[in-house]
Amino acid sequence: MSVGDLLLLLVAGFGAGLSGSMAGLASLFSYPALLAVGLPPTTANMTNTVALIASTVGSVAGSRPELAGQGHRVRTMAPLAVGGGALGAALLFLTPAGGFEKVVPFLVGGASVVLLLQPRIRAAATRSEDGPSRRSRFLVLAGIGLVGVYGGYFGAAAGVLILALLLIGLPVSLLQANGLKNVLLGLANGTAAIAFAFLGDVRWAAVAPLAAGVLVGAWLGPAIARRLPGTLLRVVIALAGIGLAVKLGLDAF
């Protein structure tokens, strides 16, 4: 790997950390950078999942105040997130050669649309004045497992989906839901990352610079977000993701 490749991954990791902390679409920057340095799609995805653990470490550490008193919720939903992440990793291993490359454009495009519609999703999630019902709590548990599968398989914008589910199904504030989301998404991604690290094709030379950039970007992201228009950032990142999905689709098909 050349010096130019290492610099590209470092910068892309920084962008991924910023994007992930501000809008929830870190893979928009990190995954294409791994493709650009020559990694095959499935290898790039596995490497990306391992590198993004750095973002999870930072976000969970910063969410300790919001997680206070939520231990019972973590214990209830953690097995679903871990099981979903393991199943998602298994599905990636079972995807035929060349199949993942054809699936990714739809995942990136769908995640970008979810990000674009994030305010409407949050509004729908908090619209009920009667609070979460028993049925909605059951649905959120099932949804956590399904999003865990998606997170283990690819994961772009999985955080947006988990956040919406938590706000729909639990009597929590946005900040509490965000802290819980960081833990659950980290468990799903971390489970998949462990599987990829031991059984998959991870390019460790690419993990180091990407993870370093992610860590710095995730740390600085909240401070930068407070000084920039959040709506503009979200829309620009989402539209860039849709453009990337089109590009990946043209390359794949």
Q: Which pLDDT does position 133 carry in this prediction?
A: 59
pLDDT score recorded for residue 213: 93
Q: Where are the domains of the chain?
A: 3-252
Count CB atoms within 10 A of the CB of residue 200: 20
Say what the pLDDT of residue 39 is: 95
CA-nearest of 242, 247, 223 to 35 is 247
Buried residues in 125-160 as b, exposed as e (16+ CB within 10 A): beeeeeebeeebeeebeebbbebbbbbbbbbbbbbb
- Enumerate the H helices of 226-253 as residue ranges: 230-252
Task: Output the tens digit of pLDDT for each of the chain's 253 residues.
Answer: 899 999 999 999 999 888 877 667 788 899 999 999 999 999 999 999 999 998 888 777 777 888 888 999 999 999 999 999 999 999 999 988 788 888 999 988 888 888 788 778 767 655 554 555 566 678 888 989 999 999 899 977 787 788 778 877 788 887 788 788 888 988 999 999 999 999 999 999 999 999 999 988 888 876 676 677 767 877 887 888 899 889 889 988 8
Q: Rounded to an integer, what distance in angstroms lies between the CA atom of residue 204 and that of residue 182?
A: 24
The structure tokens listed for 74 are 């973590």
